[in-house]
Amino acid sequence: MAIISCPSCSEQVSDKAKQCPHCDLSLTEQSLEQTESSKRVERIKSIQSIQFQTMLALFLSIAGFIFYYLDDPIGDPQMQQWVAMGAIILGLMWYLINRIRIAYLTKKYKNER
């Protein structure tokens, strides 16, 4: 008995199971074409999720720049600069990490073909 991942929900399932206990997908009636299609959909969903996180990281960086160059400081100007610089650095690092993740996943999916 081997453990495989469900083509629909990617959870671990026994290869002897007729139905996925997590998403109730029938594992015996799927053709190779349906399996490949569901894998493709999961790949697209994972890359779209990372792209959404990349957009959030860019917005965080832009908000940090705006907050840093705000003419009328709110409260302590020194604290405002520290918070803004932290947002800029955090956003840019998050952006770079997500771009590396996307490149890695794209390369991984191309190698699986």
Q: Distance between CA atoms of 59 and 91, rounded to whole angstroms?
A: 8
| pLDDT tens digits for range 4-32 | 777 777 788 887 777 888 887 777 766 66
| pLDDT tens digits for range 71-97 | 676 778 888 889 999 999 999 999 999
Concatenated DSSP letters of the chain: --EEE-TTT--EEETT-SB-TTT--BSSS--HHHHHHHHHHHHHHHHHHHHHHHHHHHHHHHHHHHHHT-SS--S-HHHHHHHHHHHHHHHHHHHHHHHHHHHHHHHHHHHH-
CB atoms within 10 A of CB 7: 20
Under a CB-based contact definition with an 8 Å cutoff, are residues 13 and 4 in contact? yes
Residue 31: the pLDDT is: 63
Please indicate, yes or no, whether the overall pTM of this predicted structure exceeds 0.75. no
Residue 1: the pLDDT is: 62
Nearest alpha carbon to residue 10 among 46, 54, 51, 53:
46
Check residues 99 and 7 and name the one with the higher pLDDT.
99
| pLDDT tens digits for range 22-59 | 887 777 766 667 777 777 888 888 889 999 999 999 99
